[in-house]
Amino acid sequence: MARPTWGYRNADSYTVNAYTKPALSLQTLEGLVGEETMTRILRTYARRYRFAHPTSEDFIAVVS
């Protein structure tokens, strides 16, 4: 999910990795932590990194 755009073979490969995998990852996380906790995670993440360029590690830090 962290590969540069030009690193994919074609548009379909990019779509799966840029949109489908992240969506499934977030749905899986919500299934593990519950809807209420997921909402709290996303609110915290949005507030903390609004107008910033967060990394994957930043999201993991919020979840932890």
- Which pLDDT value is given to residue 8? 84
- Which pLDDT value is given to residue 54? 96
Q: In the structure encoding, which two tokens stand for residue 25, read together?
A: 């990852």
Residue 55 near residue 46 (C-beta atoms within 8 A): no
pTM of this structure: 0.77
**pLDDT tens per residue, the chain (64 residues)?**
567 777 788 888 888 888 888 999 999 999 999 999 999 999 999 999 999 999 999 999 999 9
Using alpha carbons only, how large is the chain's radius of gyration in Å?
13
- Which pLDDT value is given to residue 1? 58
**Alpha-carbon torsion angle 7, 50, 32, 37, nearest 10:** 180
- Which pLDDT value is given to residue 52? 96
